Structure 1
């Protein structure tokens, strides 16, 4: 819900007088019903507070009048201060889902872990998975989350559920990525939760990779390139 609320409030006045985090929280919650504010703290800029909402970060003037949606850049050293904090928030959100709600392909001794939002019927997702052994050989642990781009109720959505409900999820996912239609089954599944998190992360295409530092890499990244990038983080 917050995904749709906050981008509409760029520079919108809240028309309240607030000088403390608890007062800012009350003002924001009053004007943004349904939004869950995780934290409010002073930002690097005097007079501007940092507001964390799930994997999102916003800025509010200390009088509670203005809310800004954007990245805070330190021009002196060309550092994106917002992105560094967003990365931590993404990792925290993934931790909340937990590996028990993901399909994992892991080497014996992982050097890095990536979380990949995938669509069974996406061509580049299939290309990514066709090289899964190469990723594992590079020491990269792959944690899959489902994001059927056609949406809830689509064939890709039902395939994702069927894969999750199969006896051997890894084998079933591999077969589905190779074009086989999984035996349609239903059970308790995390697909909707995966999709909601993907929306929060702003996923627009698949695969979308989240590195172990919380960085987002949109699109297909070959094994050698991914290993090199992860090693340079």
Structure 2
């Protein structure tokens, strides 16, 4: 019995020592990044399956840094046994976490009657392919796909598309206003507290340059318009892979 307790105690000490080493390396990494990226604070620093390599999450962005804080790896990291891209998986998880932190209450949602998947679409009111996507909103919903819209007026804050996004958000019926605006109708111009700037900032951090930008419920991002049946297939394929 004493021997078992002794071994358990040694195991606990080993775990504590390992945690202390990890904490030291996390602090080293944070200090190193603060020197080169002073405006961005890591939301998490955690060990990867590769010894000495740490996954650093800054909002929706992910990078990999060595424990001594000297080397940063930006690109694919492939597990040759599973053939999986560890970096891509980490990036997908970070996107989802950042989007969920915004909350559906801060999005314009077109929910499917029997939802099987949920996509988040960064949209520009005046974007042609965004309008084409919205013309088929019922087809997406009928395919079991709920659509959550976040605003990404590409021309920035001082643009008609930005003003339209704010007016859609401030409308009494946001879904109706979104549909009318995307059909090219003039909707009443309104002002109120709104999440448009927050949406656009998150999109920029994700590296979005064009719209629509579709984030699947796996966290994978698909640029551009995808018709409903093909998107349903992509969602099923993504779900079976994860």
Per-residue deviation, 1:71: 2.3
Counterpart position of 1:43: 48
Aligned to 1:21: 26
1:209 aligns with 2:214: yes
1:228 aligns with 2:220: no
Q: Secondary structure at the match of 2:153?
A: coil
Deviations, residues 176-222 of structure 1 (Å, cap 9, x unaligned): 11101211110000000100010011111111100111110100000
Counterpart-to-counterpart distance in 2, 1:31 and 1:208:
29
Corresponding residue number in structure 2 for 1:139? 144
Partners of 1:99 and 1:143 within 8 A in 2? yes
Equivalent residue number for residue 116 of structure 1: 121
1:76-225 alignment to 2 at 5 Å? 76-225=81-230
Moved more, 69-78 or 220-229: 69-78
The answer to which of 146-155 and 28-37 deviates more is 28-37
Question: 2: distance between equivalents of 1:167 and 1:201?
Answer: 30
Offset of residue 60 of structure 1 = 1.7
Separation in structure 2 between the aligned mates of residue 27 and residue 150 of structure 1, nearest angstrom: 35
| Greater mean alpha carbon deviation, residues 40-49 or residues 92-101 | 40-49
Q: Residues of 2 paired with 1:150 and 1:62: CA distance? A: 40
Kept after mapping to 2: 8 A contact 1:19/1:63: no
**Other structure's SS at 1:45 match:** coil
Instruction: Return the alpha-carbon distance in structure 2 between the equivalents of residues 151 and 189 of structure 1.
Output: 15
Instruction: Give 1 or 2 for the bigger CA radius of gyration.
Output: 2
Figure out how many residues of one structure are paired with residues of the other and give that number.
216
Looking at structure 2, the residues matched to 60 and 148 of structure 1 have their Cα atoms a distance apart, in angstroms, of 33
Q: Distance in 1 between matches of 2:97 and 2:196?
A: 19
Ranges in structure 2 where 5+ consecutive residues have no aligned partner: 1-22
Structure 1's unaligned 5+ residue stretches are 1-17
